[in-house]
Amino acid sequence: MEKVLAESTDLAKYKFPEQDFLQEYYPDWVQLPWWFNGLKTLVSNHLNVWDEDKHRVIHYIKDKPWDVPPHTEKYFAHPYLRLNQWWWNAYYNDGDWRANGLERHALQQAQYAMALEE
C-alpha cells in the first residue's frame, strides 16, 4: 500500500484522499453497517436510527470531545454531552466507554488539589 501511494503521480485525483485511495486499493471492499462509523450527529438528527447498543464506532465530526475538558462549564453545556462523556469514559477506563471514569477522574483531581493544600 505504501509503495503504491508513494509511486502515485496524481494525488489530486482523489477528492477524499484517504477514502478514495482505499477504495481504489481495495476494489472488493464490503460496506459495513452504519453503526461501525456512526456520526455523532445521528443522536440529535436521526433519532429513528440511533441505537447506542448497536454503535461500535462514533465518528466525532467537527468539534472533538478531547478539546472540551470534563468538569468545565463548556463541557456540561455541550450539545453532545452524552457522547463526549462516552469518549472521556473510554479515555479514563482503558477503552471501557460505559464505565464512569469521569467520576474517578474528578475524585483524583480533588485528592490532588487537597494534597497541594497540605
| Per-residue pLDDT in tens (0 to 9) along the chain, 118 residues | 788 878 887 878 888 777 888 888 888 887 777 777 788 888 888 878 788 777 778 888 888 888 888 878 888 888 888 888 888 888 887 766 555 555 555 555 555 556 666 6
Residue 98: per-residue pLDDT: 59
- What are the DSSP E strand ranges found in the chain? 38-39, 58-59
pTM of the model: 0.58
Q: What are phi and psi of 47, to 5 degrees?
A: -60, -25
Residue 107: per-residue pLDDT: 55
CB 60 within 8 A of CB 40: yes
User: What does the domain layout of the chain look like in residue ranges?
Assistant: 1-30, 37-117
